[in-house]
Every structure is written in C-alpha cells, then in structure tokens.
C-alpha cells in the first residue's frame, strides 16, 4: 500500500494533483487568513493582563471543544448563500479556525514570564519590539500551536462541508477529508497525503532546529 | 546640581498589607546612591518606580525635569535610563545577542552596535562567551551579561537592583571599579539597591535606608542627613 501511495505521489496523475491543488488552494487561503487575524488576536488576549482576561481565555478554550461540524452547519443555516462559492468556503473556514489559532497562541503568551516583559521594557522596547521579541522567544511553542491549528483545519473543518455536500449535493471543491471519505477514497491516497504532510512538517522542524542552533 | 529624578506624594499600594509611601525624594546629578534595607523594605519596588516600569497608584514622578505620564513620554525617558532588575531575564540566543538588545531597541545600526559590543565584551572579559547560547553559560556569566546589557546603551542614569548577586569575587571587584569609573569619568549617576554593607562602603556616596516601604534614614559618607537637605529627602 505504501508503494501504491508513493507511485501515486510521483505518477503525475492529473485528478490526484487536482485534489491536492484544491486542498492547498482552499485550505491554504483559509489558514493564511486565520493566521493573519488569529495570531495578533491571540497575542493581545494572552500577553497583557486586563479585566476579564480569564473569561476571554475561557471562551477561547471553549471553542476548542466545539464540534466544528455542528458549528459549520449552524453557520450554513445562518447564511446559506455565502457558502455556495469557493470564496465563501474559504472565508467560513477561516472564521471557524481564527478563535482556534487565537486560543492556542494566547496560551503561549499567557505563560510569558512577567520578569521577561520587565526586562524588555526596561531595555527600551516599544510595543511592537516587545511583541517581536516574544514571538522570537516563544517561536518553538508558536510553531507547535500553528502546526496543531493547521492540522485541524485540514482534518476537521472540511468535515462539515462534506456533510453539507451529501445533504445538499453542493459539489464543493475537495479537501483531503473529502478524498478520504468520498467516492474516490482509498488508502493509497490517504497515505500519499500523509507522506506530503510528513515532509512539510519535517521541513518546518529542520528550519526550527537550525534556527535554535 | 540638577535633579535628575524627582518623586512627590508617592503612595503606591503594592498589596493590601504593603505600600511605598514617600512625600518627596529627588536624585541629583553626580552621586552614587545606594538603597539599603532588609528584604521586603521596598527597595526593588522603589527601583521599579524610578525606572518607570511600575505605574504609580498615586503621586508624580519627573525624570530629567520631564513628566512621565503618557506611554510615549515614559518610553522616551526609559531609553535614557538603564535598569537591571533583581532577577534579570536573558532571552534565547547568545551572550552577544542579549547584550545588543537595548541598542537594537533604540534603532542603532549594525555599524554602531558592533564596536560597542566588542568594547564591552572585552571590558568584561566576555569575549570567549560571545557566541555561546545563554543556556550554556554559568550563573555568574549570566548575571554579568545582564549587567553589561544594561550598560550597553550608555544610560544617563544607571539603576541596578542587587547587581552583585551571583557574581564571583574577581567580577565583583572589576564591577566596582567599572562603576566608580563610569560615575567619576563619564558622569553617570548610579542608583543601586543592595543588602551588602561592602557594596555601600565601596561605592555609595549617599545611602538611603528603607524599612516597611518608607525611608527611615539618609547618610552621606559617615554623616546622617536630616530631612530636606542635599540628598533630597523631605517630609520625614
């Protein structure tokens, strides 16, 4: 089966690459939007102390437990017309995952040593230099949070679209989860996607490791 | 002598049982001041207030005759000060990268940072540690790195909270000489907090003794100063 997966990977099989291209295009855009908005929100929620911070963090954590499928279907009923386009698909995916990223990143910054902030401020850091210093300081934890978020957007957020696709026969662009559960599903395709994902994560960790050295 | 830092009517509630209470205190251009007192006297908190790190619950502070109210004012003034906390934090990276941080925050270019860095590494015998990660250096070198990082941006007032902790005897003696020179040759006013009588004797021109968040005595050399005279204490 692994050989089949590798053959698929290097076969230049057009439908397979189309699935991948769709997955990367749609999920990729959603991830980029979610990162651009979710990271600053997470930093703001976690870095500085403010009244009701624990409540904000609680709500963000609560989001981690919300079944994406139920939430997605709820959003679909709220605004059906915006869903039936790739743009809507991307935006709603991003919307679902923004609090997820924010939550993971807020946790990283909530645990910053207060003494470290004092030192950076005493050294003359302005607000942006302060954030930048701690993004560097917490880069390992941030990569971890982002990796988990990216994995979830690929694995879970697509699930409700799959269900919607079955329910309403909408024919959305594919995501990996579609491939695994839809009609063209087979283990070789799943393994091929695992190989690609593994290579991407390995590359991230090599970059991370070399930075640490 | 000009007043570099002046605080008035300070009532700063640190916790429900402890507050810093000062009617008036000023630090003038020139001397080396030592804040002394037992643990919990309020030395470190007063240092944080003077370094514009701790926002005051009540009272005013002026630094270089300028008010420190808005964030912008505080940032501009903070960049003219040097403050070493009691338990300094070193950021991930090398000794050299840590020392350069304050210079980078002030927007200095690589051309300005490199010679300053080279000079400081040489002055404090840290050359051999320059490219070593802070996770792999001894505690005494960590403390010295934090001190040098504070000195790097040429602060006009240097505030050091228990600077001699963790450093060995040779480094201690060298630091005493360096601080004396910085004060006498370069005109940097120094405020340090310490529990060590030796540090006070070797360095301080004026010692300010604290207890329970209040100043109880000010001495210059061997003489106790009464309230309201040149050391700047009023309203005792």
Q: Does residue A96 lie in a domain region?
A: yes
Q: Does residue A7 lie in a domain region?
A: no
- Phi and psi at B176, nearest 5°, equal -60, -50
For residue A169, give its domain range: 15-186
Q: Does residue B181 lie in a domain region?
A: no
Residue B226 confidence (pLDDT) above 50: no
For residue B229, what pLDDT band results from cuts at 50, 70 and 90?
very low
Cα–Cα distances in angstroms (integers) from residue B61 to residues A207, B64, B166, B189, B211, in the given order: 47, 10, 32, 17, 21
| Coil, helix or strand at residue B89 | coil
Among partner residues B78, B105, B153, which is closest to A129 by beta-carbon distance?
B105
Residue B172 contacts residue B164 (beta carbons within 8 Å): yes
CB contact under 8 A, B91 and A123: no
For residue A137, what pLDDT band results from cuts at 50, 70 and 90?
confident
For residue B117, give its domain range: 88-154
Instruction: Collect all residues with Cβ–Cβ distance below 8 Å to A53 and sequence separation of at least 6.
Output: A45
Side-by-side strand order, sheet with B214-220: B81-84, B157-161, B189-193, B32-36, B206-211, B214-220, B223-225
Which site among A114, A122, A130, A138 would you substitute to test the B interface, given the most B Cβ atoms closer than 10 Å to its Cβ?
Answer: A122
Q: Does residue B189 lie in a domain region?
A: no
Q: Does residue A19 lie in a domain region?
A: yes
pLDDT digits (tens, 9 = 90+) for B30-50: 899 999 998 888 999 999 999
ipTM, interface predicted TM-score of the complex: 0.86
B101 at A interface, C-beta within 8 A: yes
Residue A85 confidence (pLDDT) above 80: no
Pair of tokens at residue A81:
């017309």
Q: Are strands B81-84 and B157-161 parallel, antiparallel or unpaired?
A: parallel
Among partner residues A122, A136, A137, which is closest to B85 by beta-carbon distance?
A122
B197 vs A71, more confident = B197
Pair of tokens at residue B165:
């902790």
Residue A15 confidence (pLDDT) above 90: no
Residue A38 confidence (pLDDT) above 70: yes
Radius of gyration of chain A (CA): 20
Give the residue from chain A lying closest to B54, CA to CA. A118
Looking at every residue in chain A, the average pLDDT score rounds to 73
Instruction: Report the number of distinct structural domains present in chain A.
Output: 1
pLDDT digits (tens, 9 = 90+) for A42-67: 888 888 888 888 888 888 888 777 76
B163 at A interface, C-beta within 8 A: no
**Chain A residues closer than 8 Å to B143 by CB:** none
Among partner residues A113, A118, A123, which is closest to B102 by beta-carbon distance?
A123
Q: Does residue A10 lie in a domain region?
A: no
CB contact under 8 A, B89 and A118: yes
State the CATH number of the domain containing residue A41: 1.10.3720.10
**Chain A residues closer than 8 Å to B153 by CB:** 123-124
- Chain A, residues 129-148, CB within 8 A of chain B, namely 129, 133, 136-137
Q: Does residue A99 lie in a domain region?
A: yes
B68 vs B82, more confident = B82
Q: What pLDDT was estimated at residue A178?
A: 47
Residue A34 contacts residue A94 (beta carbons within 8 Å): yes
Residue A172 confidence (pLDDT) above 60: no
Residue B231 confidence (pLDDT) above 60: no
Q: Does residue A116 lie in a domain region?
A: yes
pLDDT digits (tens, 9 = 90+) for A90-136: 777 787 788 888 888 898 888 888 888 999 999 999 989 998 898 88
Residue B117 confidence (pLDDT) above 90: yes
Q: Taking residues A194-212, what's their average pLDDT?
A: 72
CA distance A209 to chain B (A): 13
Cα torsion A14, A16, A17, A18 to 10°: value is 80
CB contact under 8 A, B85 and A118: yes
- Helix (H) / strand (E) element for B10: namely strand B3-15
Q: Does residue A97 lie in a domain region?
A: yes
CB contact under 8 A, A126 and B105: yes
Q: Does residue A111 lie in a domain region?
A: yes
B92 at A interface, C-beta within 8 A: yes
B227 vs B66, more confident = B66
Instruction: Collect all residues with Cβ–Cβ distance below 8 Å to B166 and sequence separation of at least 6.
Output: B139, B140, B142, B143
Q: What pLDDT was estimated at residue A23?
A: 63
Q: What pLDDT was estimated at residue B155?
A: 94
Q: What pLDDT was estimated at residue B236?
A: 34
Give the residue from chain B lying closest to A134, CA to CA. B91
Instruction: Report the number of distinct structural domains present in chain B.
Output: 1
Q: Where are the alpha helices (DSSP H) in chain B?
A: 43-50, 71-78, 95-105, 110-123, 139-151, 169-186, 197-203
Pair of tokens at residue A206:
């090599």
Residue B77 confidence (pLDDT) above 90: yes
**Chain A residues closer than 8 Å to B89 by CB:** 113, 115-116, 118-119
A123 at B interface, C-beta within 8 A: yes
Cβ-based burial of B52 (10 A; exposed 0-12, middle 13-18, buried ≥19)? buried
A125 at B interface, C-beta within 8 A: yes
Q: What pLDDT was estimated at residue A71?
A: 63
Q: What pLDDT was estimated at residue A144?
A: 81
């Amino acid at each position: 089966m692994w050989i089949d997966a590798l053959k698929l990977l290097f076969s230049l099989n057009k439908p397979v690459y189309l699935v991948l291209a769709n997955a990367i295009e749609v999920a990729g855009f959603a991830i980029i939007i979610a990162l651009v908005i979710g990271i600053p929100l997470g930093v703001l929620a976690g870095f500085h102390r403010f009244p009701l911070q624990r409540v904000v963090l609680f709500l963000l954590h609560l989001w981690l437990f919300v079944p994406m499928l139920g939430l997605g279907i709820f959003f679909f009923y709220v605004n059906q017309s915006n869903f039936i386009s790739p743009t809507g698909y991307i935006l709603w995916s991003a919307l679902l995952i923004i609090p997820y990223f924010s939550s993971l990143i807020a946790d990283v910054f909530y645990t910053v040593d207060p003494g470290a902030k004092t030192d950076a401020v005493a050294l003359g850091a302005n607000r942006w230099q302060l954030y930048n210093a701690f993004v560097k300081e917490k880069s390992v934890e941030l990569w971890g949070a982002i990796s988990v978020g990216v994995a979830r957007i690929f694995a879970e957020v697509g699930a409700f679209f799959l269900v919607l696709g079955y329910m309403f026969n909408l024919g959305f662009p594919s995501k990996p989860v579609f491939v695994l559960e839809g009609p063209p599903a087979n283990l070789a395709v799943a393994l091929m996607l695992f190989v690609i994902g593994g290579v991407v994560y390995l590359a991230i960790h090599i970059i991370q490791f070399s930075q640490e050295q | 002598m000009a007043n570099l830092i002046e605080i008035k009517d300070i009532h700063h509630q640190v916790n429900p049982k402890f507050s810093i209470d000062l009617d008036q205190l000023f630090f003038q251009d020139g001397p080396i001041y030592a804040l002394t007192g037992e643990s919990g006297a309020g030395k470190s908190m007063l240092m944080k207030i003077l370094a514009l790190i701790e926002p005051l619950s009540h009272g005013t502070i002026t630094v270089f005759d300028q008010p420190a109210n808005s964030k912008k004012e505080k940032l501009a003034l903070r960049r003219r000060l040097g403050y070493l906390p009691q338990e300094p934090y070193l950021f991930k990276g090398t000794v050299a990268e840590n020392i350069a941080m304050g210079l980078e925050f002030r927007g200095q270019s690589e051309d300005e940072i490199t010679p300053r860095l080279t000079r400081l590494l040489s002055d404090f015998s840290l050359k051999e540690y320059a490219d070593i990660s802070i996770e792999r250096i001894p505690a005494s070198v960590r403390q010295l790195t934090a001190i040098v990082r504070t000195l790097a941006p040429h602060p006009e007032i240097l505030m050091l909270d228990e600077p001699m902790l963790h450093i060995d005897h040779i480094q201690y003696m060298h630091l005493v000489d360096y601080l004396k020179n910085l004060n006498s040759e370069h005109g940097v006013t120094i405020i340090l907090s310490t529990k060590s009588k030796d540090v006070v004797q070797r360095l301080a021109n004026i010692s300010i003794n604290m207890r329970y968040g209040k100043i109880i005595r000010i001495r210059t050399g061997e003489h106790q100063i009464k309230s309201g005279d040149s050391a700047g204490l009023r309203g005792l």
